């Protein structure tokens, strides 16, 4: 027996875990496509297009694969990923909730998915109605007068919103110079303000995690175009003084831009319009549950007050005289167009389906359950982890690694260890004002069992941090690859496959 | 609500545990005066069957089942069935941006493959993980040229998609730059001799094939741009043209941007689509958007990570190269699966069929009395036809026959009242083309 097994030549690799790049599994002569044969008389290509203009590389190095190879390849890759369907994905500020399958089905209805964007309006009434109804619903949810769904993502919405503020101020005679942004804000806020030609000043947060009112009063002057404020903010706190803040900014002739990334805490409970803000965006891929697909697509509709309505991007979808829907391009005060066509339509279909499925009571229930879940986690973990801004939270809770640091365990170690317990880690090191931040947003689509398992895992990890910190340093132990050397990767970046390239040799 | 797994009893016990009496207590940090005292006003929840019925009835208000010959930045192509199967895998569909690389290797590897294939198609050194769409990719390229050259003047060809030009205008409006336009010559392309670059010009922006379908003379335009130190930005709205055409990277382009919709993405009334962005190695640190790079773990296993993030807003804030965060990740996957499935020979075959079918249609239409091709420059799958009556009228009359014959251009170019932009791809059957031709023939 012993002799026999010694003679067995063992394969070295696990085929699923070691699937190569497309270019490495490609073999000349394989094909995976199926299209009808050409059905018109063929003319020599050189007679149609000057050969000077055509490519000479014969598309060398593009993959050659059978359909089975393609299916296997991407299916294997998918097993190295983790999605909301796999388990809890408590990525703070990203609102990773269940993506209803019915919405996927609806977005694939042929007459929606197959509609060309240049189709004349009267043959696109159904699509226009999707946009019209969604804009109407978002207007009701926010309490603001008008909505555009043209922006392709949250940051794109910020850009549109800030452009509108600039256009309005310019019309008043002075575009102003600065935008105020709290130190807890998303990085997209300052980056968006800059494209609108503004410089950015940072407003400090107070001890409760809200805006420092004295600082704001000091900083707010006639040079300030706008305050960009996330509410609830990235600490999971509702801005208690929001009404006073808006009054203060308005008194000095500025506008208030609300980053609505955290609308999941407000839908059906607070209409942002009633807080006094002028313009806001929402992220349909967060609050309204369209799948985030490993980085996108998103959609970032912008809602505005009546005062800012004339500046919305064109075209506007409007009801025309014969009762049908059409596009209004005659918008002389508009900021223009910020994207070709009309927005991420397929995302809009899914978001409308989500809203209609919930209705008034469902949307409110969604918000309540999301806030309840966040507070439940905060309550259960407050003895184990530092909560730098204690007390009631809205949709998310920010923990920190402060208590684990004495064992030299950092937030990243906690995150990597959570992977071994079967969870996707929370957002790390954000917001920037919390050292060692661990930002947990459970959303409403986690049940109590799943929350308890997460809480148990976090408690176990805190114990491991005290008793066996080395274990956490080595985590994750359950994944295809261990911690990757990001520093070397950035120093000598390899950003594409090349046929002749030698393998990377630097070691972590 | 079926998407909320906590039972009513569990919610009550959780509430008690955190010290709340009623659900309203959860919101006690919200001033009472701001809380809603009435429902949103959307109505009652819809059940699943009602929802399907509702959207089916909306969809039925759309269009005809007939044939359309529309392009203009969005193209009808065969889409392999396996794309939808693969992107529907929840590990891809329901994942977020790959912030934790160990648990996101699937997303990271396909993005690396995507970047590679976009480089191969365009002939460039590096490509990013995607931007929103073609129009915003052009705007981002213009902003990048500003950073690279520190100049503030742009020359944009009038043959660039009108909506792309509008987006560039909106993006640059507040940045103190000047935008001038290069006129289109009689041939339908721009005349490289009329590219008036000076030492303030940051970049020349062209599209090829351009909005009229014509192929621009990129080599000569590149020389004109480079001799005065400006960059050449080339937009590609129809990336399948690169199955046949010389890639812009082999013609001297510094930045190639594009619309990736043709690569397996449904028309979906204009989005979500896929912004392509590729450039030269030396400009990589000025690029917008995410980049995936190769990395090793401590055992020397190969993996992939998001890299060069110090360009990005979450680290660099107001000094970032762009404000983009969410991109079009899943649609980059669609393009990756498309390119892998079609493969080297399939891409060439599709490109061949587009050339053959569009030229077949163009020949037939040009032979009709009262019709002629407006331009002489070579084209890929789109061309402009001059019509005997205003093009809008032609379109109206053919729509009564369930055919959308193309896009009347007057709304975009006021002097083109009698011009129709016609697109013919591999999805147009010969019968449909012949029907289009015979119906056009009835209008004189």
Report the alpha-carbon distance of residue B161 to residue B235 in Å, rounded.
Answer: 9
Nearest C-alpha of chain A: how many angstroms from B69? 10
Among B116, B270, B426, most A C-beta atoms within 10 A, so best to mutate, is B270
User: Can you tell me the mean pLDDT for B28-54?
Assistant: 97
Is A207 near chain B, with CB under 8 Å? Answer: no
Query: Which ranges in B123-190 belong to alpha helices (H)?
Result: 134-149, 162-172
**Cross-chain Cβ contact B353/A38 below 8 Å:** yes
B-facing residues of A in 353-392 (CB < 8 A) are 353, 355-366, 368-369, 371-373, 375-376, 378-379, 391-392
pLDDT exceeds 50 at position B399? yes
| Rounded CA separation A504/A500 (Å) | 12
The predicted structure's pLDDT at residue A1: 45
User: Can you tell me the distance from the alpha carbon of A84 to that of A107, in angstroms, rounded to the nearest whole number?
Assistant: 20
**d(CA B229, nearest CA chain A) in Å:** 24
Nearest by CB to B132, from A152, A268, A285: name it.
A152
pLDDT at A8: 75
Position A505 scores a pLDDT of 72
Indicate the DSSP class of residue A124.
B
Residue A47 lies in a domain: yes
Q: Which tens digits make up the pLDDT trace of A28-59?
A: 999 999 999 999 999 999 999 999 999 999 99
Residue A94 lies in a domain: no
A347 contacts in chain B (CB < 8 Å): 271-272
Whether A271 contacts chain B with CB within 8 A: yes
Q: What is the pLDDT of residue A9?
A: 73
* Edge-to-edge strands, sheet with B275-279: B126-127, B275-279, B255-259, B231-236, B201-207, B153-157, B178-182
CB contact under 8 A, A116 and B68: yes
Q: For an interface test with B, give the residue of A236, A349, A484 to mutate (most B CBs within 10 A).
A: A484
Q: How far apart are CA B320 and CA B309, in angstroms?
A: 9
**Residue B40, exposed/middle/buried by CB under 10 A (0-12, 13-18, 19+)?**
buried
**Is residue B307 within 8 Å of residue B146, measured between CB atoms?**
no
| Contacts B220 to A, Cβ<8 Å | none
Distances (CA, A) of A117 to A294, A452, B63, B429: 26, 47, 11, 21
Residue A160 lies in a domain: yes
Which among A44, A376, A309, A273 is positioned nearest to A168, based on CA atoms? Answer: A309
Rounded to an integer, what distance in angstroms lies between the CA atom of residue B388 and that of residue B258?
34
The per-residue pLDDT of chain B, averaged, comes to 97
Helices and strands of chain A, counted as H and E runs: 16, 12
**CB B54 to CB A356 under 8 A?**
yes
Q: How confident is the model at residue B65 (pLDDT cuts 50, 70, 90)?
A: low
Whether A499 is in a domain gets the answer no
Q: Which long-range contacts (CB under 8 A, 24 or more apart) does A463-472 make?
A: A464/A417, A465/A404, A465/A407, A465/A409, A465/A413, A465/A414, A466/A404, A466/A407, A469/A407, A469/A408, A469/A409, A469/A413, A471/A417, A472/A409, A472/A413, A472/A414, A472/A416, A472/A417
**Angle CA A99–A103–A105, to nearest 5:** 120
Q: Do B343 and A481 touch (CB under 8 A)?
A: no
Report whether B307 contacts A486 (CB < 8 A): yes
Which residues of chain A neighbour B399 with C-beta distances below 8 Å? 120, 123
Cα separations (Å) of A149 from A107, A133, B163, B165?
Answer: 16, 11, 17, 20
The C-alpha atoms of residue A271 and residue A473 are separated, in whole angstroms, by 45
**What is chain A's pLDDT, residue by residue, as a tens digit (508 residues)?**
455 556 777 666 788 999 999 999 999 999 999 999 999 999 999 999 999 999 999 999 999 999 999 999 999 999 999 999 999 999 999 999 999 999 999 999 999 999 999 999 999 999 999 999 999 999 999 999 999 999 999 999 999 999 999 999 999 999 999 999 999 999 999 999 999 999 999 999 999 999 999 999 999 999 999 999 999 999 999 999 999 999 999 999 999 999 999 999 999 999 999 999 999 999 999 999 999 999 999 999 999 999 999 999 999 999 999 999 999 999 999 999 999 999 999 999 999 999 999 999 999 999 999 999 999 999 999 999 999 999 999 999 999 999 999 999 999 999 999 999 999 999 998 899 999 999 999 999 999 999 999 999 999 999 999 999 999 999 999 999 999 999 999 999 999 999 987 777 765 4
Name residues 67-86 of chain A within 8 A of B (Cβ): 67, 70-71, 73-75, 77-86
Q: Give tens-digit pLDDT for B282-298.
A: 999 999 999 999 999 99
Q: Is the domain of A253 the same as that of A402? A: no
SS3 of chain A: helix, strand, coil, percent, to 5? 40, 10, 50
What is this model's ipTM? 0.98
Domain termination site, one of A31, A62, A78: A78
The C-alpha atoms of residue B122 and residue B130 are separated, in whole angstroms, by 14
* pLDDT computed for residue A508 by the predictor: 44
Residue B42 to residue A355, Cβ atoms within 8 A: yes
Between CA A24 and CA B340 the distance in angstroms is 12
Please check whether residue A361 lies inside any domain of the structure: no
DSSP string, A228-254: EEESS-TTS---TTHHHHHHHHHHTT-
Task: Give the number of domains in chain A.
Answer: 3
Q: Does A487 touch chain B (CB under 8 A)?
A: no
Closest CA to B240 of B221, B261, B223, B257: B261
Burial tier of A301 (Cβ tally within 10 Å: 0-12, 13-18, 19+): buried
Say if the Cβ atoms of B322 and A79 lie within 8 Å.
no
Euclidean distance between the first and the last CA atom of chain A, given in angstroms as a whole number: 41
Contact B236, B276 (CB under 8 A): yes
Full domain range(s) for residue A65: 2-78
Same domain, A163 and A14: no
Per DSSP, the residues of B263-298 read TT---GGG-S--EEEEE-GGGGGG--S--EEEEEBT
Give, in order, the Cα–Cα distances in Å from A217 to each of A235, A239, A243: 22, 16, 14
Residue A234 lies in a domain: yes
Do A334 and A395 lie in a common domain?
no
Please check whether residues A235 and A132 belong to one and the same domain.
yes
Q: In whole angstroms, give the CA distance from residue B369 to residue B173.
A: 46
This prediction has a pTM of 0.97
According to DSSP, the residues that pair with B156 across neighbouring strands are B181, B205
User: How far does A338 lie from chain B, in Å, by closest CA?
Assistant: 5
Considering only CB atoms, which chain B residues are within 8 Å of A70?
A: 82, 86, 337, 340-341
Taking residue B290's Cβ as centre, other Cβ atoms within 10 Å add up to 27
Tell me: do A204 and A276 sit in the same domain.
yes
Q: Do B62 and A126 touch (CB under 8 A)?
A: yes
Phi-psi region of A295 (alpha: psi -120 to 50; beta: other; left: phi over 0): left
Using CA atoms, how far residue A353 sits from A285, B16, B198, in Å, is: 13, 34, 53
Q: Is residue A373 part of a domain?
A: yes
Q: B-chain residues within 8 Å CB-CB of A118?
A: 70, 72, 74, 407
Residue A100 to residue B148: CA distance in whole angstroms: 44
What span, in angstroms and rounded, lies between the C-alpha atoms of B362 and B373?
7
**Interval B117-124 mean pLDDT:** 98
Mean pLDDT value across residues B438-444: 95
**Could you tell me which chain B residue has the CA closest to the CA of A475?**
B102
Question: What are the chain B neighbours of A360 within 8 Å (beta carbons)?
Answer: 39-44
Separation of alpha carbons A504 and B85, rounded Å = 33
Asked if A299 and B326 count as a contact pair (C-beta separation under 8 A), the reply is no
- Are A203 and A305 contained in the same domain? yes
* The CATH number of the domain covering residues in B67-78+343-441: 3.90.1150.10
Interface touch B70/A118, C-beta < 8 Å: yes
CATH 3.90.1150.10 positions along chain B are 67-78+343-441
Q: Are residues A21 and A145 in the same domain?
A: no
Q: Does domain B81-337 have CATH number 3.40.640.10?
A: yes
**Ranges for all domains in chain B classified under CATH 3.40.640.10:** 81-337
Give the integer Cα–Cα distance in Å for B126 and B179. Answer: 27
Residues A132 and A159 placed together within one structural domain of the fold: yes
Q: First CA to last CA across chain B, in angstroms?
A: 60
Answer yes or no: do A348 and A372 share one domain: no
| Whether residue A188 is found in the same domain as residue A255 | yes
- pLDDT at position A499: 93
Residue at A271 is within a domain: yes
* Phi-psi domain of A300 (left: phi exceeds 0; alpha: psi -120 through 50; beta: other): beta
Query: pLDDT tens digit string along B355-368?
Result: 999 999 999 999 99
A158 and A288, same structural domain?
yes
Q: What is the CATH number of the domain that holds A276?
A: 3.40.640.10
Determine the average pLDDT of the residues in B297-326: 92
Adjacent-strand bridge partners of B276 = B258
* A323 shares a domain with A192: yes
Q: Which residues of B touch A79 (CB under 8 A)?
A: 91, 106
């Amino acid at each position: 027996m012993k002799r026999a097994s010694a003679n067995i030549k063992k394969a070295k690799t696990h085929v699923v875990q070691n699937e190569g790049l497309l270019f490495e599994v490609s073999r000349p002569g394989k094909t995976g496509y199926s299209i009808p044969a050409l059905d018109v008389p063929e003319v020599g290509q050189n007679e149609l297009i000057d050969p000077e203009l055509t490519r000479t590389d014969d598309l060398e190095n593009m993959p050659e694969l059978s359909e089975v190879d393609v299916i296997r390849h991407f299916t294997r890759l998918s097993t190295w990923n983790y999605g909301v369907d796999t388990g809890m994905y408590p990525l703070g500020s990203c609102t990773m909730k269940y993506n209803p399958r019915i919405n996927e089905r609806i977005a694939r209805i042929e007459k929606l998915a197959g509609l060309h964007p240049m189709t004349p309006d009267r043959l696109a009434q159904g699509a226009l109605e999707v946009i019209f109804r969604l804009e109407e619903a978002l207007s009701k949810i926010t309490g603001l007068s008008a909505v555009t769904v043209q922006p392709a993502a949250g940051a794109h919405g910020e850009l549109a919103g800030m452009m509108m503020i600039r256009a309005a101020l310019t019309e008043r005679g002075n575009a102003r110079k600065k935008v105020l942004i709290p130190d807890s804000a998303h990085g997209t806020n300052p980056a968006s303000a800059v494209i609108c030609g503004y410089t950015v000043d940072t407003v400090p947060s107070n001890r409760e995690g809200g805006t420092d009112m004295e600082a704001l009063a000091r900083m707010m002057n006639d040079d300030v175009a706008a305050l960009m404020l996330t509410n609830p903010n990235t600490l999971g706190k509702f801005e208690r003084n929001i009404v006073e803040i808006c009054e203060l900014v308005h008194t000095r002739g500025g506008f208030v831009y609300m980053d609505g990334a955290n609308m999941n805490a407000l839908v059906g409970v607070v209409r942002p319009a009633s807080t006094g803000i002028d313009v806001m965006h929402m992220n349909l891929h967060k609050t309204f549950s369209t799948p985030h697909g490993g980085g996108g697509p998103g959609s970032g509709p912008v809602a505005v007050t009546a005062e800012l309505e004339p500046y919305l991007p064109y075209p506007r979808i409007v009801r025309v005289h014969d009762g049908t829907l059409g596009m209004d391009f005659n918008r002389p005060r508009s900021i223009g167009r910020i994207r070709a066509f009309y927005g991420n339509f397929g995302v809009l279909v899914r978001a409308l389906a989500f809203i209609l499925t919930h209705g008034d009571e469902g949307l409110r229930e969604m918000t309540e359950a999301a806030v309840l879940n966040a507070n439940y986690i905060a309550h259960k973990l407050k003895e184990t982890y530092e909560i730098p801004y204690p007390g009631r939270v809205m949709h998310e809770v920010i923990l920190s690694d402060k208590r684990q640091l004495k064992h030299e365990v950092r937030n990243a170690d906690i995150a990597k260890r959570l992977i071994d317990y079967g969870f996707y880690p929370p957002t790390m090191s954000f917001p920037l004002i919390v050292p060692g931040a661990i930002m947990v947003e459970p959303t409403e689509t986690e049940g109590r069992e799943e929350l308890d398992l997460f809480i148990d895992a976090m408690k176990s990890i805190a114990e491991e941090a005290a008793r066996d910190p080395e274990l956490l340093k080595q985590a994750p132990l359950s994944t295809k690859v261990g911690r990757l050397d990001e520093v070397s990767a950035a120093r000598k970046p390899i950003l594409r496959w090349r046929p002749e390239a030698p393998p990377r040799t630097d070691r972590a | 609500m079926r998407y909320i797994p906590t039972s009513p009893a569990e919610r009550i016990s959780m509430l008690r545990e955190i010290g709340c009496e009623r659900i309203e207590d959860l919101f006690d940090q919200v001033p009472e005066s701001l809380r809603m005292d009435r429902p949103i006003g959307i109505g009652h929840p819809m059940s699943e069957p009602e929802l399907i019925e509702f959207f089916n009835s909306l969809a039925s208000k759309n269009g005809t089942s007939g044939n359309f010959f529309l392009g203009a930045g969005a193209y009808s192509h065969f889409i392999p069935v396996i794309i939808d199967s693969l992107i529907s895998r929840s590990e891809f569909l329901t994942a977020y941006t790959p912030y934790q690389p160990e648990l996101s290797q699937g997303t990271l590897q396909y993005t690396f493959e995507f970047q590679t294939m976009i480089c191969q198609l365009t002939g460039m050194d590096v490509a990013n993980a995607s931007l929103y769409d073609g129009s915003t990719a052009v705007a981002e390229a213009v902003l990048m040229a500003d950073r690279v050259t520190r100049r503030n003047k742009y020359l944009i060809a009038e043959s660039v998609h009108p909506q792309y030009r509008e987006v560039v205008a909106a993006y640059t409006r507040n940045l103190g730059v000047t935008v001038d336009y290069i006129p289109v010559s009689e041939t339908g392309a721009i005349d490289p001799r009329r590219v008036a670059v000076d030492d303030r010009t940051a970049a020349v922006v062209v599209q090829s094939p351009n909005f009229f379908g014509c192929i621009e003379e990129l080599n000569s335009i590149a020389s004109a741009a480079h001799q005065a130190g400006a960059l050449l930005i080339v937009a590609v709205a129809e990336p399948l043209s690169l199955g046949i055409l010389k890639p812009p990277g082999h013609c001297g382009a510094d930045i190639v941007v594009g619309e990736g919709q043709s690569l397996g993405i449904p028309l979906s009334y204009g989005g979500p689509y896929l912004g392509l962005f590729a450039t030269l190695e030396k400009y990589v640190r000025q690029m917008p958007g995410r980049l995936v790079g190769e990395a090793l773990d401590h055992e020397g296993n190969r993996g992939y990570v998001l890299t060069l993030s110090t360009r990005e807003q979450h680290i660099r804030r107001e000094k970032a190269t762009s404000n983009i965060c969410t991109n079009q990740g899943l649609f980059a996957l669609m393009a990756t699966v498309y390119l892998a499935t079609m493969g080297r020979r399939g891409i060439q075959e599709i490109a061949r069929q587009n050339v053959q079918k569009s030229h077949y249609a163009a020949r037939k239409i040009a032979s009709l009395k009262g019709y002629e091709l407006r331009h002489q420059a070579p084209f890929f799958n789109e061309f402009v036809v001059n019509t005997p009556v205003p093009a809008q009228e032609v379109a109206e009359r053919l729509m009564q026959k369930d055919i959308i014959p193309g896009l009347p251009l007057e709304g975009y170019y006021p002097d083109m009242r009698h011009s129709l932009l016609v697109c013919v791809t591999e999805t147009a059957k010969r019968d449909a083309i012949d029907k289009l031709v015979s119906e056009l023939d009835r209008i004189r």
